[in-house]
Amino acid sequence: MPEVVEELRALARDLLAKGTVKTVIGYKAERLANRVSPLIITSPDRAGELVWNKYCLNNLAVYLTRGEVMRRGPAAVVVKGCDARAVCGLLQEGQIARQNVVIIGMVCEGVGEPLLEMCKSCDVHVPRLADYIIPKEAQKPAEAAKTPAEADAEVARLEALTPEERWKFWREKLERCIKCYACRQACPLCYCKRCVVEKNQPQWISTSAHAAGNFAWNAIRAMHLAGRCGACGACERACPQGIPLMLLNKKMAKEVALHFNYRAGYDPAATPALRTFDARGDNDELFR
């Protein structure tokens, strides 16, 4: 077993045995070597089931807002750098208390086989927010934040098209949406107990999987994640229809960085961009 896994297991065992945390949220191996699944343990005896490898795709921060996990008491969560950005967002938004979460940050050279596209432009190989970094000897984050919005080529390509072409692009992509809400379920920041799509007095967004409802749903989800999305890509991976949801999130991140000089999930003490304003500094060009 690789040393890093031993280190992770030893830490989890220790945290549970000492009672620092009541649960540890991590990954466990599956029968297929290239699959892992989330594992939530409450006893130090089971720490040996935890694994860490390049197939650990899930963003486990999603469990930090689940009552069935958190009501047991403080939880430790195994995170990659991008997942830590989501934990940071949850702390900023007051969804979890700092003393109720122990962040086990894994040094991550990118996940997926082949390597995920988003990992190639990653600037959080060492999580910026963590109580423990594994392996221990890893240096604290030295990487400078890269260009906002991950300087995405596909976003730039779409921006260069005409409105009609973009409309056509999204019509084709969103046509496939079946309104399963897997994107929402996989997203650690989509934690509303009652999502706007489930509100029906009035019915803001049609729940049927038709063109108009799909447009409204995906537009409003992107808007609700503006300045909050930590770019972990969980929504896109969860989408059974292969809709490039991260394009919308990246576009929003780009606008937020451009106008408000803010990047989500880097500073737990910062106020999220869309929860504040700058009376003099905000761009007024749009409002003629």
Partner 1 sequence: MSATETKNPVIWQPKIIAFVCNWCTYAGADLAGTSRLKYDANIRVLRLPCTGRIDPLFILKAFERGADGVLVSGCHPGDCHYNTGNYHARRRWIVFKPLLEFMGVDSRRVQFSWVSAAEGAKWADLVNNVVKNVRELGPFKGYQQMLEEVSKMGKV
Give the interface with partner 1 as residue ranges (CB under 8 A): 155, 158-159, 163-171, 196, 204-206, 208, 210-213, 215-216, 219-220, 222-223, 226-227, 248, 251-252, 255-256, 259-260, 273-274, 276-279, 282-284, 286-288
Least Cβ distance, residue 195 to partner 1 (angstroms): 12
- Identify which of residues 137 and 164 has a Cβ nearer to partner 1 in the complex: 164
- Identify which of residues 42 and 206 has a Cβ nearer to partner 1 in the complex: 206
Question: DSSP state, 266?
Answer: S
Beta strands 75-79 and 36-41 are unpaired
Provide the b/e sequence for 208-237 (b: ≥16 CB within 10 Å).
ebeeebbbbbbeebbebbbbbbbbbbbbbb
- Identify which of residues 10 and 211 has a Cβ nearer to partner 1 in the complex: 211
Which of 255, 234, 80 has its CA nearest to residue 264?
255
- Neighbour count for residue 18 (Cβ, 10 Å): 9
Least Cβ distance, residue 264 to partner 1 (angstroms): 12
Least Cβ distance, residue 252 to partner 1 (angstroms): 6
- Identify which of residues 58 and 214 has a Cβ nearer to partner 1 in the complex: 214
Angle of helix 211-224 relative to helix 245-260, nearest 10 degrees, comes to 40
**Could you give the CA distance from residue 255 to residue 282 in angstroms, rounded to a whole number?**
12
Is residue 245 within 8 A of residue 233, CB to CB? The reply is no
- Identify which of residues 57 and 158 has a Cβ nearer to partner 1 in the complex: 158
- Identify which of residues 138 and 216 has a Cβ nearer to partner 1 in the complex: 216
Question: DSSP state, 41?
Answer: E
- Identify which of residues 63 and 181 has a Cβ nearer to partner 1 in the complex: 181
**Could you give the CA distance from residue 149 to residue 131 in angstroms, rounded to a whole number?**
27
| Residue 62 CA to its chain's centroid (Å) | 8
- Identify which of residues 13 and 228 has a Cβ nearer to partner 1 in the complex: 228
Least Cβ distance, residue 234 to partner 1 (angstroms): 20
Per-position DSSP letters for 165-209, written without gaps between them: HHHHHHHHHHHT-----HHHHH-TT---SS-GGG-BTTB-S--S-
Ramachandran angles phi, psi of 74, nearest 5°:
-55, 145
